[in-house]
Amino acid sequence: MKTIPCFSILNQQKFDYTDVYFQNIKTNKEIRPEDLGKAFFTSNIPWIKKLFTLRNKLVSVVGLKGSDKKSKIMQKAEHSDFAVGERFGLFKVIDKKDKEIILGEDDKHLDFKVSLLYAEPENKIYISTGVQYHNFFGRLYFFIVKPFHRMVVKSMLNSMVTSFA
């Protein structure tokens, strides 16, 4: 699915690239934006940790922003209320509504936004990504990372759904 849900905050913005992944969940728990953020950042997937370590080494060469260690981010997320402006590695909390949290970053080559959204009537969790390129290097960077991005998002979504079961 490439179209951002009409009820997402991100639907109001224009992007050069979008993708959306979703899964049904079975839970009787109330899911708040803070719960989505916590589930997203505390998913402990070893190959993703290694991939981000490699990414941080490579992007420092071209002047893109790096990220904190995954363990530091996970620890912070455990106790956070995900206030607007709070940072978790590469991700800054940009907006937060009743059932959605928007994370992202603006950089010199591209801007990206990630929506973590719980659709209550449907019992679905959505992860939507929007990317706006600023120049050739932004396009090139995302062209290279796009296949990994897709694998990471799918794995993170699976982990999030499992955490709410």
Instruction: Going from the first residue of the chain to its last (165 residues), give the mean pLDDT of each consecutive group of 10, the final group possibly shorter.
Output: 88 95 91 94 70 60 57 73 91 95 94 96 94 96 90 90 88
Q: What is the CATH number of the domain that holds 147?
A: 3.30.530
Identify whether 48 is part of a domain: yes
Q: Is 120 exposed, middle or buried (0-12, 13-18, 19+ CB in 10 A)?
A: exposed
* Domain total in the chain: 1
Identify whether 55 is part of a domain: yes
Identify whether 138 is part of a domain: yes
Residue type for 44, please?
Answer: N
Identify whether 109 is part of a domain: yes
| 109-112 contact pairs (CB < 8 A, 24+) | 109/64, 109/133, 109/134, 109/135, 109/137, 109/138, 109/141, 110/134, 110/138, 110/139, 110/141, 110/142
Domain span at 16: 9-164
- pTM for this prediction: 0.85
Identify whether 4 is part of a domain: no
What angle do helix axes 136-164 and 33-41 make, rounded to 10 degrees? Answer: 110
